[in-house]
Amino acid sequence: MRRLIFYVAIVILAFFMQTGVFTHLALGGIVPNLFVICTASIGMIRGKTEGCVVGFFCGILMDALFAMYFGFYALVLAVLGYLTGYVKQIFYEEDMTLPIVIIGVADILYGIAVYLFSFLTRGRMDFPFYLGKIIIPETIYTLILAVFLYRLISWTNRRIEIKGSENRID
Amino acid sequence: MNKNKRKQIKPRYVLWLIIGLCLLFIGLSLSSGGKLNIQEAVSTLVLPMEKGLNSVGQWVDEQKQHSRSVSELLEENESLKQQVDQLNTKISSMENNLSELDSLRELLKMKEVYPDYNMVGARIISKDAGNWYNNFIIDKGSNDGIQKDMNVIYDNGLVGIVTDVSANNSTVRAIIDDTSSVSGMLSKSTELCIVNGDLKLYQDGLLDVEMISKTAQVVAGDEIVTSYISDKYLPGLVIGYISDVSMDSSNLSQNARITPKVSFDNITNVMVITQLKADLVAAEAETEEEES
């Protein structure tokens, strides 16, 4: 239950930060991607199922307001959440390097997916341009925030786990 | 421990379920072409909160503005003063022209070319969350008389078009969006052209113009307005000004780039014209019929 509230809170918070605050904090016209951070972090910490579900709900929120096709972002983020779940087996929460690398890779994959399905299909061929001017800058900005956000998510998660174990002893 | 006992669904099944659900949604929205009910429900749920939050964002914007240095402001003040002088002289000469125009029009008993459209002011409450598209959401919807395909302007320049309407908010696609395409014309020669948004060009603040006829005389600085043949855009709204022209590789038409009139980076309020082009055409056809 506690965990469910945590997930709902984090998805909604990410959504409002993304659409309400960070659109005003764009650096060089680029905004970071908080959904990828949340989805990938939860995928890594909690595994495939939860990453997948959290990604789905993040995507649905974004789809509801801005998608060309409703369901597209949900699909991309759900798959990303699932894939990051594979990392759970080889990963310590305290180590920062691996999560940051994974979040970076996830954001690049996200960018490539958006390019493939909604730009290439309309005949925009210049992939190096989109990679250099949109995907990579977005990833860098995202990673800067990921350092803080990942810590926050991981810390909250540990608090929930400790609370959970206390309950079990009772 | 008991959690594990209770349910142990394989992640793979969850993934397939979600993929199936998403594909279903995508299929539905592709086939219906409009907003799905579920989409509508989610947006009515979150947008009121969004409105409040956006004011936080705007406050951040203001703080950024405040931090500009005094010398910059002084400089800008100086140049603005000059501009005021120039514009004042322009206004007085225009007023002369206008009175002349009025008298000539009276002579010709001509209808005014561009009637004064009714407009509704709206506030932008959310911008597209990613880096790929340029849509935004305004705080007026069908309750305020907004309909799909209404034109949105700001500062006398075309901003975009309403693509989705909910009860209290609607989505606007900006002309700088990569999927946007507007039928335009050169205001001087009424040569037709097509103005496309392009994410790549917009990095330099430009829009793409194609299909200008080979023989048209185009120079930098020419004004591009919406054309009279468009079925969604009202005629005569300023889109932007030509910055450079080139021959198309096929040698059959000319291409150009334009600087949009509206600076999209810091708009917070827009005006929605509540006159639909389709209605305008219908009304005109009617009056013509009556006359004949």
CA–CA dist B278, B149 (Å, integer): 9
Residue B4 has pLDDT above 60, yes or no: no
**Six-digit token string for A138:** 């977005």
**Six-digit token string for B279:** 């209605």
CA A66 vs CA A62, A69, B130: distances in Å: 6, 9, 9
Among B65, B82, B113, give the residue marking a domain's end.
B113
Q: What is the pLDDT of residue B34?
A: 64
Q: What is the pLDDT of residue A53?
A: 92
- The letter for the amino acid at B26 is I
- B174 plus B198 within the same structural domain: yes
Cβ of B15 within 8 Å of Cβ of A75? The answer is no
Q: Which residues in chain B are closer than 8 Å to A62, comparing Cβ atoms?
A: 129-130
For B229-260, the pLDDT digits (tens) are: 888 898 888 899 999 888 888 888 888 999 99
Cβ of B131 within 8 Å of Cβ of A31? The answer is yes
CB neighbour list of residue A84: distance below 8 Å, 6 or more residues apart: A39, A40, A43, A44, A51, A102, A106
- Domains, chain A, ordered by start: 2-162 (1.10.1760)
**Six-digit token string for B245:** 């022209």
Q: What range does the domain containing B198 cover?
A: 119-277
Give the chain A residue nearest B11 (alpha carbons). A49
Q: What is the pLDDT of residue B50?
A: 75
Q: What is the pLDDT of residue A80?
A: 93
Please compute, for residue B32, the number of CA atoms within 13 A of its CA located in the half-sphere on the CB side: 16
Per-residue confidence at B33, pLDDT binned at 50, 70, 90?
A: low
CATH number at residue B133: 2.40.10.340
In a domain, B285, yes or no: no
- B182 plus B196 within the same structural domain: yes
- Of B133, B138, B165, B167, nearest to B153 by C-alpha is B138
Q: What is the pLDDT of residue A169?
A: 42
For B179-208, what is the mean pLDDT? 88
Total length of chain B? 292
* Domain count for chain B: 2
Q: What is the pLDDT of residue B271?
A: 87
**Which residue is associated with the tokens 């320049």?**
B157
Q: Which of A8, A21, A61, A66 to mutate to test the interface with B (most CBs of B within 10 A)?
A: A66
Q: Cβ(B167)–Cβ(B47) under 8 Å?
A: no
A6 touches chain B (CB under 8 A): no
For helices A34-46 and A97-114, what crossing angle results, to 10°?
Answer: 130
A156 touches chain B (CB under 8 A): no
3-state SS, one letter per residue, for chain A: CHHHHHHHHHHHHHHHHHHHHCCCCCECCECCCHHHHHHHHHHHHHCHHHHHHHHHHHHHHHHHHHCCCCCHHHHHHHHHHHHHHHHHHHCCCCCCHHHHHHHHHHHHHHHHHHHHHHHHHHCCCCHHHHHHHHHHHHHHHHHHHHHHHHHHHHHHHHHHHHHHHHHHHC
Residue B9 has pLDDT above 80, yes or no: no
Cβ of B200 within 8 Å of Cβ of A47? The answer is no
- B153 plus B265 within the same structural domain: yes
In a domain, B6, yes or no: no
B58 touches chain A (CB under 8 A): yes
- B68 plus B196 within the same structural domain: no
Q: What is the pLDDT of residue B6?
A: 52
Q: What is the pLDDT of residue A81?
A: 92
What is the rounded average pLDDT for all residues in chain B?
82
Residue B132 has pLDDT above 60, yes or no: yes
- B189 plus B98 within the same structural domain: no
- B140 plus B226 within the same structural domain: yes
Among B80, B113, B146, give the residue marking a domain's end.
B113
Per-residue confidence at B53, pLDDT binned at 50, 70, 90?
A: confident
For A16-26, the pLDDT digits (tens) are: 888 877 877 77
- B31 plus B65 within the same structural domain: yes
Residue B284 has pLDDT above 90, yes or no: no
In a domain, B214, yes or no: yes
Residue A162 has pLDDT above 60, yes or no: yes
CA B61 vs CA A22, A128, B76: distances in Å: 11, 32, 19
In a domain, B292, yes or no: no
Among B80, B98, B113, give the residue marking a domain's end.
B113
**Six-digit token string for A166:** 């206390």
**Six-digit token string for B289:** 């019929």
- B82 plus B143 within the same structural domain: no
pTM of the model: 0.76
Residue B204 has pLDDT above 80, yes or no: yes
* Position with higher pLDDT, B45 vs A80: A80
Instruction: Give me the sign of the Cα torsion angle A131, A133, A137, A142.
Output: negative
- B234 plus B123 within the same structural domain: yes
CA–CA dist A165, B110 (Å, integer): 84
Q: Which of A3, A12, A24, A120 to mutate to test the interface with B (most CBs of B within 10 A)?
A: A24
* Position with higher pLDDT, A132 vs B280: A132
A158 touches chain B (CB under 8 A): no
Give the chain A residue nearest B40 (alpha carbons). A64
**Six-digit token string for B8:** 């142990």
A82 touches chain B (CB under 8 A): yes
Q: Which of A11-15, B29-33, B192-196, B288-292 has the lowest mean pLDDT?
A: B288-292
What is the rounded average pLDDT for all residues in chain A?
86
Per-residue confidence at B93, pLDDT binned at 50, 70, 90?
A: confident
Cβ of A122 within 8 Å of Cβ of B178? The answer is yes
Q: Which residues in chain A are closer than 8 Å to B54, comparing Cβ atoms?
A: 20
Q: Is the ipTM of this complex over 0.90?
A: no
Q: What is the pLDDT of residue B35?
A: 67
- B161 plus B31 within the same structural domain: no
Per-residue confidence at B109, pLDDT binned at 50, 70, 90?
A: low
Residue B114 has pLDDT above 60, yes or no: no
Q: What is the pLDDT of residue A41?
A: 92
In a domain, B52, yes or no: yes
Cβ of B54 within 8 Å of Cβ of A20? The answer is yes
* Position with higher pLDDT, A152 vs A165: A152
Per-residue confidence at A165, pLDDT binned at 50, 70, 90?
A: low
In a domain, B53, yes or no: yes
- B127 plus B272 within the same structural domain: yes
For A46-101, the pLDDT digits (tens) are: 888 999 999 999 998 888 877 677 888 999 999 999 999 988 888 776 778 888 99
- Of A165, A72, A49, nearest to A119 by C-alpha is A72
Among A77-81, A130-134, A165-169, B8-12, the range with the most confident prediction by mean pLDDT is A77-81
**How do beta strands B151-154 and B181-186 pair?**
unpaired
- B60 plus B133 within the same structural domain: no
* Position with higher pLDDT, B163 vs B282: B163
Q: How far is A75 from chain B (nearest CA, A)?
A: 6
In DSSP notation, chain B reads -HHHHH----HHHHHHHHHHHHHHHHHHHHHH-S--HHHHHHHHHHHHHHHHHHHHHHHHHHHHHHTS-HHHHHHHHHHHHHHHHHHHHHHHHHHHHHHHHHHHHHHHTPPPSSPPPPEEEEEEEEE-SSSS--EEEES--GGGT--TT-EEEETTEEEEEEEEE-SS-EEEEETTSTT-EEEEEETTT--EEEEE--HHHHTTT-EEEEEEETT----TT-EEEE-SS-SSSPTT-EEEEEEEEEE-TTSSEEEEEEEESS-GGG--EEEEE---HHHHHHHHHHHHHHH-
For B64-88, the pLDDT digits (tens) are: 777 767 778 888 889 999 999 889 8
Q: What is the pLDDT of residue A37?
A: 93
In a domain, B77, yes or no: yes
Per-residue confidence at B110, pLDDT binned at 50, 70, 90?
A: very low
CA–CA dist B215, A43 (Å, integer): 59
A139 touches chain B (CB under 8 A): no
